[in-house]
Structure 1
Amino acid sequence: MNRIYKVIWSKVKNCYIVVSEIAKSHSKPVSMKLNSGKTVAAVLAVTALCAGMTGIAQAATNTEGADQSVAIEQSVQASENAVADGIGSNMDAESLTNDNIGEVADEDLDPLTIKLSKERPIADSRVALAQAAATYDGWTLAVGIGPDAITDKYGTASGESTKISSGDTVTLQAGSGIKLTQDGSKVQIGLKFLDMAPAGWPFNDAKANGGASLAIGQNSVAEGQQGTAVGFKTYAGQYSFAGGTEAEATTSSVAIGNYAKAMTTKSVAIGGGKRKVANKPSAGYKKIDSDFAVAIGNETYVGENSDGANALGANAEVTSSEYGTALGSYAIVSSSDKAIAAGGAANVTSSKQSTAIGAGSKVNESVNATAMGASSNISGSTNATALGASAKVSSSQNATALGTGVSVTNSAYTTATGTGATVSGSQYATAMGHLSKAEGSTYATTIGAYSGVSTSNYGLALGTGSKVNNTTGGVGLGAFSVADRRTDIFGYNPTTGQSFALNAEMKAAFDVWQAAVVEYNADPSNTSKRQAVIDTGKQYRTLTSEWVSGNGAVSVGNSADSMTRQIINVAAGSQDTDAVNLAQLKAVNTKVDDNKISYVSINTKKTANKNNDQAGVPDDKSSRDAAVIGSNNITTGLGNWNLVVTGFGNTIKNTSYDATSDSVTEKLVNNAYVYGNENIAQRGIVIGRYNVITDSGLNSTADIAIGTRNKNYGTRSINIGVSTLTNGVDSLAVGFSAKAPVTDAIAIGGYTEANSVGSIALGQGAVANAGGGVALGYESLANRSAGSIGYFSTLGSTERAAIAEKLGKTAEYNQLVSTINSYSDLAAKEAQYRSYISERQKNQDLLSAEVANLSTNAEGSAAYNASLAKIKEYQRLIKENNDGENSLSGIVSTNNPDYQALLKARTDLRNMFSAYMSTESAISVGNTSKGIYRQITGVAAGSEDTDAVNVAQLKDLEVAGLNFKGDGDTVVHRDLADTLNVVGGNTDTTSLTEGNIGVVADDTT
């Protein structure tokens, strides 16, 4: 404190003296030398100790002193530059030396002794220091507020109508505020409150009991060492801070806010507390009941058994969940260790290590589950992921639902992708495409919009609307194909003209097999009986496989709808179970060299399937459902699964560079299906030769490359043909040298290119350069971007302002332009945000290509090291792009009201000119640079302003023309471009009727 004085005992002077609190300590207390000004201040400070915050004022009547001296009360005198601090009749301070206080003759009074007058009344708001009657040890002082204040002996005088009787002892202590409290027969006067009005009963002092602690406020307590309590009825323990009405904090904790409670170790509670019983304040409040927890927001709460938990947002709550996090208003994590609920009303209940992100997202009674997207939901599942609005996984394990409205129910090791796709009651199943379904089927796959596999283990439906129903291993291939022919169908025998019939050996083998099945069903835990079923079944199929189907049929049509397809380009079959082409059928009728035996020979010097352990570690449980035929370069020893490789020289490795350890490591290879030679793949489906599939980091298993020398560097991308290229996400390249190097691009046809996001190129040589543009037809070029303004015939202008004026919307146009311009800074940040995303995708594509290149070089070689250096650089750039994107994601967000306003203004402006200005890139059916133009035929007449107009509508304008009618009833019609002759004359203009035309002479008015 500045300029604060207190009274201490001087061993040198053998009396009390006044000193400054800002004076430095000495080995012995000594009296303080004061100049005349400081002397006056010292006396006033002593008096203020009695008349401080309690509102008591000193009585200073009949005071007289010499120049620069002060005398207090009756008959007190002071010499020049001195203060008489002994107070009573005939006290003489002339013997005091300059700048000293309180030295009086021993025969008069004890030094610094103040006596009370007997029964002397004390005026309102005054301190009475009056005539001494006797000598006592120490000081005595009468203090009171209000007239006629009375109190018992040794009582405390505080408040109105109180009085300390003669002889009571008062101890003066330093402080900027004063409170009187009773300590035995003594009254302590010291710092208890700081400028605080009483707040009701009980009216207790602030208590700072611990070392270096501080308590401020009525009933506040700082009990522990270095604790701080501020506010009414606050409590702070050791190393803690509590601020706010009835806030409480214990060891090393912080509680800020009304009824905030941090009564645990090293916790932080900020914001109003939560009632223990709703609508019952008297039951008390709670905020944090676990160690190392954080609760921020009004009525947020971290309950018991939730060490290390965090709750942020109004009414957010974490209970019985160690290291749980609830982020957002009404977000809840309950009985879920290491779980996260982020978003308004997000909820994770009874789900360890799970995450719910998005408004209304939920995870319930699950483990290691992730639900991301508004109203996404996971329940009763393990290792599940639901990504997308209303995506759902229930009662499933190792399941993934990706897309809006996608669901996985009662399934395991399954994936559903595409709007409304579903998987139910299935294992190891995949549904991909809009409203695709896999139901009650194990190891089933359905790809294509509206495709489905139902009650068909190992079924495959490929194509829009394709189906596999009630048949094991059935295949529906092509749009709207249906495979519903079951297994064990006997083929046609041309020698008998009937279906094949089992011979005696086959029947015996079948009976043995069925008997083994019966025994196994009676004792399913017997492994030897299970093996007997496998062996006898294999023996039966060996005898019958050429005549009896072992799996469901492959369908390329739909017999119910009489839909069929030719299977073309079929090579001549060589094995009994191969398909036969038409040439072989024709040759049956040509008997060349009867009775001659023909042979088929397979000759290779390569190591084929001898001692081939490339399918994974035999004893590793993670090695399952893997098959490898041929000599290939495959990650081994790590437990690969869902891996099928057939051929020679294929490289199947998931190589990753770890920047932390500066090393290249191999990961598990899962969900890879490679058929052919010398392909490179991390995952996905590869058929052919010299194809490459790598991944940009999303670990997609939906990549497909079919053909030769195709390069698939994207995610969920498809390459079909020769030398095709895909990059980005969900891109498609079909045809010789077709290229779709960006996200959502489609290139179909030889030499087609879809070079911008969302662009489509269809037809040989078609090129789409504009984002979202469509090039349709042979060598068509689409390079006109969005924003082009069409011709306005009645205006002859393509300026938006002129069109707005013609439409009578100038004011609205100017307002929208002004609004958009006012957000120029935000628009610049939006452009930067888009740039970060674009650059990241470009670097991810380059990284994927370089990872493929790395695997082709010998480790330690110059080429290998150069490739590794590029990988490091791409990873660094990707991190920079991600950091930049994340730094702006909160600004360029629909949650930002300014960004919402900017988007709305842009949309309103586009809608204003919707009939005259394109909002997306153009669809091109030709190429002006090559003189290619096409008619668009079969166009119906347009009905809306933005519809295309056909020739019939244009012809109708020709005959619409104008009708002319004079004063008579005659009507004259002229088509457009026709001439109407007007004969001159002199018409009396006064005789013209309204709506008629007359001819007048020149200068006639």
Structure 2
Amino acid sequence: MNKIFKVVWNRTIQSFVVTSELAKGRVKSSAEQNSTDVSAESGKNGIATVFRLTVISAALLGAGNSYAATAGRGLIAVDPPTSATAVSGATATGIGALSVGASANATANGAVAVGTSANATHNNSLAVGTNAKATQNHAVAMGADTSASSSHATAIGKSANAVSTDSTALGADSKANGTQATAVGKNALANNTNTTALGNSAQAFGIGSMALGQSSTSRGQDGIAIGSGSQAAANAQNAIAIGTNAVGYQSESIAIGNSAQAQTGNTIAIGKSAVANSPASGNAASSAIALGADANATGLGTIAIGRASGVLSQNIMNVNVTHNNIAIGNTARVGDSSSSKITQSIAIGSGNRVDPQGRPEGAWAKGDQSIAVGGNVLANGNSSVAIGGDDLDSVGSTRYSGNATDKFIKYNEKGAKTGEYTLSGKSLRDIYKEMTGDTMNHGSYGNTIAGQGSVALGVQSNSSADLSLAIGTKSQATAFGGVALGTGAKATLLNSVALGTASKTDKEGRAYVQREIMGVTYTWAGGQTTDAGDVVSVGSQGYERQIINVSPGDISATSTDAINGSQLYGVLNAIERVRYFSVKSEEGKTDGTKNWNNDGAKATNSIAIGPNAATSTGATGSVSLGHNANVLGSSSVAVGPNATVTSGTVGAVALGSNANSRGTGSIAIGLNTENDRNYSIVVGAHSRANYENATVVGARAAAQNNGTAMGYLSNAVGDDSVAIGHQAQTTQAYSIAIGKQANSSGLYSTAIGSSAQAAGQNSFAGGNNAKATGSDSVALGNGATTTVGSSVALGNGAVGAANNFDSTAKNASFKNDSGAATNVSYAASSSSKTGAVSVGSAGNERQIQNVAAGRISSTSTDAVNGSQLYTVMNNVGHNIQQNGTDKSRINNNGTVNYANGNLTTVAVTDGENASKVQINVTQGTLSVNNNGTVSAPTAGVATAGDVANAINNAKTTTNVAAGSNTHVNKTTSGKETTYTVSADKATVQVSNALNLTSNTTTASDGAVTTNYSIDLAQSTKDNIQKGVDAKTTVDSKGLTFNGDSGSTNIEKLGSTVT
């Protein structure tokens, strides 16, 4: 409305208030010294207040003692000495205090309270909003019912509560209840020292804990919960939970993925709904590891890698009966919900079908200390071994690759040829059917199965009976103690043996104790206990085989040795040799060594088949199959040329040419594979495991202590490290490299993505070609790069390099409008050139959006968002001072209106560095008529010369004396005295602007003389002086600007502040 206002004294509330120039005030005597009232009306005779500005500049005219500023409703009260300002029902006490709103209170230096019942009770505190309370030094409370009750505490948002020193609560109903705690989001709670809760209903309870995401909770010391509903549970020190509803229940546990759960200490669960649970939660070496969606690693030392892989047992948490199991591959399983004991079992392989209950199946080591390797392989029994798969589609459709002349020839009982079957051009499926009579159906998938203490090696091999052995594609040992060795071999009778492709135990054994031949009764040894299953078959009906190169057996009445053809030649020429079983070798021929005499099996219940194949005396229950195959450990298997299981091992498996297994429970499968340590697994040509519990899958892959390497040329060098992918490599302990040629060379580092590199300690590189070479750095995004410690690069191609900010800089300088240099200090200079965060690179910068408003103060290091900068731009202003003391603040876009007043005019002109404000006083004139009366015919302020002239013209002294025939009559009305001289009378009258004094003397002649003195009234002189002082103040003293850093700068009116 462009009204002109004044500051006046309110006697009722004993404070200066701002009021309209149209209001009327009561004038006090100028003799009172405590304070001065300024009337809102103009003085009589043109003498009035000579300087008026806006509401803010009017405060410059106030004077008197300091009082608390209390404003009535709709009014503004200012206490000039303290600059305390109260607006509309508020009270402000303290230097620079400001309160706005009904019952608002700002009761300390620099305190600001804005809003109904807002309270700012300590120095530099800020309370904005209804019932907002800032009750400690530098506390900030913004929003209805907010509370900041400790020094440097900040509470922003309805009912936000910052309780402790340096705490921050941002969001409706948020609460920061610990020193340096931060709670951001609706109902967020940071309830301990250095805690951080970010997200709606996020809660951080443990010292140094962090909860990020809606309803996330971190309760243990230094726990981390990231993701909606994620939890780092109580007493879970250093627990990490990342992902929606992920939970880390105990200390040092890690859960990463949607609904992942690390249920006990030192366990790791990575993947959607992955679960890791170890009863020995304090023993890091025995912790469980689950990697993959729905993976479940429950039990001491359990490892589950792959989707839906896991361990099942009814005593899952009993360390005596469930421990050290391994399941690797999608849906790979160890144990069963009904298992009472499941220890040291291994399942490696992925499934591609579901069981009758609709559940996906993979490798399944169901029995205690069982081993299952391959797709849809079942090691059903305790101490069983099943190695193979379920898919023969590609094999069945392959054409025979042998000589074109190869064929099967059939003969009758007299040796006459009855038919032939040419192999050339036939599929292996057809040949298999011809040999075995069984089908190798396309699209038919049967599990490889092993029963109690049984071994099944080969695709769709089956040793489902207890203590049975099946080796070869589709081999079957389905009766107790049965042995089926060869493709399609079937041992279906109790304790029977089927040796060779398509061999079958299709005829029961009989007890032959004696027989009469040609009238002579012969009695034989060894037949008394022969049962139906006590048979060895090396073929099948119609496909019989010879047993050749049989060493002569003992010939005696009690001998049970096999007899070769030469021994029986002269006795019974009709007995044919065993067919289709042959070993071609000259080794040991001359001296009968190297198993030439079938004596390579030295241990009880062991088998040695092949030239120089052997089982040592301590290799009880072992199998050695192949040229130079050698087993020195018990319950072990060596299959293939030069395959070896070393002494001192138990349950080891070496399968493949030159395969070597040297550790208890170790497995080495593939050409030139080497497995040196206990319970480690090596699958793939030229692969090697050098430490216990290592897992190596892939040609030329290698892993060390507790490491896992999967993929061609993958190499897990660091202890407990994981390398997955073609040429993936880890070189330091606890590092992870996932992806083709991914490389993690820093301690505790992680590289995920093709050619990703994590070289710095604790670094993380995620994305194709991402590189994190600085320690504690993070590069996330394709091609993202970090080169210095603690730096972060986020986004495709982002580069996190050194912090280019001057680490020693403390202030910045600029020139003001007058050209003078000015320094502005700021907080938290960089202490090093590390720690930069980049979201792009030079020429490829990105916006950072959705940034929450940061704390704004002289010590703040928070990021500010665009809305905060916009607010600053629209609130930049300057101070107006009175005699060097700040009186009012002019905000950005605010206006200082220099208005013409009564008897004053204002002229403002621009200069190069300043604007010139000139206040001119309207000059009036004084005149004296012939009667000596002084009058002011025009409104204005008389100059001293005018006053002097008027006085001189009116004469200095007026003597009113009664002369002859005259008399003087004196009358007084108010402050005016009239001397009337007429017939015997005289009258002298002056206005209130003048003082009139008189002195009466009586001459010796009796004549009475009255002398009158006229001078300007003191109020008139004071008003003139005020105009002069105000002009001096405006023209020369300038305005004082106080910066956020505490520096002060005085600028004259008209100058420009930059």
Q: Under TM normalisation by the shorter chain, which class is it?
A: 0.3 to 0.5
Structure ranking higher in strand proportion:
2
Larger helix fraction of residues = 1
What is the TM-score normalised by the length of structure 1?
Answer: 0.42
Instruction: Provide TM-score, normalisation by structure 2.
Output: 0.41
The higher relative CO (CA closer than 8 Å, separation ≥ 6) is in 2
